[in-house]
Structure 1
Amino acid sequence: MGKKFGFLVGLAAGAAAAHVAYRRLSDEDKEQLKADLQEKMDIAKDRAVDYAFYASDAWDDFKETFSDQTQTVSDRVKQAANQFGDTSLKPNTGDDDSLRDELADVSTSADDDSDDIVLNSEDTFGGADVADESKTSTDDPESPDDSDETKQD
């Protein structure tokens, strides 16, 4: 509160000094001071209006540029979607008929009563149990791979 009070006291003292100085001026000096202040106020108003127009123009340019950019991006997205839809969703007319015919032949051949091929380990490996052989070769401490050369190291 002390800073606010000091500011207000200084403002009041400055206003009182300005009032006393203005009262002591001659009538010609008062008119000259009023004309100078009016000219400076007109210049300040003109500048404020100019800056307001500059800001308005800049805002309009921004909106136009943003609108153009969003339209460009939207067009590109639509073009990409159309291109993607054209290439991947539409059937290829050249090889489709032959592929369809081949698939139809496969489906009709699967409908007959032919037996499926079933493989089991006895038929494939001659009755040998492959899982047991792999365990014995890795579990054997004296396998043929352990030679005297590796034991000497």
Structure 2
Amino acid sequence: MSFKKGLLLGSLLGGAAAYAAYRSLDEERQYRLRNTILDAAEDAKDRAVDYAFYAADTLADAKDMVNDKVDDYKGSISGTSEKITDKMNDLKDDLSQLQTYLNLVPVPKNHLDDEEKETETDDITVDMDDAFAPENDSDDTIYPLHDEHRK
């Protein structure tokens, strides 16, 4: 005999025995038994409804908590995004000012070309045009030698 057939047979025989026992009781006991079973079913139904409400409340609380966290993170991301945008704008302004400054500052002329750098030695050479050319920001003024100094 399979499990399903045994379960079905046991349920039928148990149900028949319970019905026969119920019918063998007098009317007052049948009434009390019926009320006891109905009260137990009503209590079970009330508990099930209470648990369903508890589950719904817990789910709503969890949903509210998740929504609050998401809103907090959105606000945090928005604030961080605004800060980054402000910093990027400040950086753009600084770079623009630097570019303007660099365009105004004259580039000093390079006295040594690439070829001259390769052949450069440690010898000191003086170009007469550069040595005696007036410089605006230099306090060193070169004066011609007096007769006393020439010997």
What letter corresponds to residue 49 of structure 2 in structure 1?
Answer: V
Partner of residue 51, structure 1: 51
**Greater helix share, structure number:** 1
Greater Rg over alpha carbons, structure: 2
How far apart are 1:44 and its partner, in Å? 0.6
Looking at structure 2, the residues matched to 18 and 120 of structure 1 have their Cα atoms a distance apart, in angstroms, of 118
Name the Cα RMSD after superposition: 3.1
How far apart are 1:42 and its partner, in Å? 1.1
**How big is each residue's C-alpha offset from its partner over 1:16-63, in whole Å with a ceiling of 9 and x where there is no partner?**
111111111111110010010111111111101111110111111011
What letter corresponds to residue 105 of structure 1 in structure 2?
Answer: L
Partner of residue 123, structure 1: 119
What letter corresponds to residue 54 of structure 1 in structure 2?
Answer: Y
Partner of residue 33, structure 1: 33
Looking at structure 2, the residues matched to 122 and 93 of structure 1 have their Cα atoms a distance apart, in angstroms, of 40
Partner of residue 18, structure 2: 18
* Number of residue-to-residue matches in the alignment: 122
State the TM-score, normalizing by the size of structure 2.
Answer: 0.68
**How big is each residue's C-alpha offset from its partner over 1:63-107, in whole Å with a ceiling of 9 and x where there is no partner?**
11111000000000000010011012335768964x34431135x
**Structure with the larger RCO, 1 or 2 (CA within 8 Å, 6+ apart):** 2
Gap change, CA 1:13 and 1:120, over 3 Å in 2: farther
Which runs of at least 4 in structure 1 moved beyond 6 Å after TM superposition?
none
Taking only the aligned residue pairs, the percentage that are identical comes to 30
Partner of residue 102, structure 2: 103
What letter corresponds to residue 17 of structure 1 in structure 2?
Answer: A
Gap change, CA 1:101 and 1:15, over 3 Å in 2: closer
Partner of residue 6, structure 1: 6
Looking at structure 2, the residues matched to 101 and 56 of structure 1 have their Cα atoms a distance apart, in angstroms, of 65
What letter corresponds to residue 104 of structure 1 in structure 2?
Answer: N
What letter corresponds to residue 38 of structure 2 in structure 1?
Answer: Q
Are 2:86 and 1:90 aligned? no
Unaligned runs of at least 5 residues, structure 1 = 126-153
SS at match of 1:90: helix
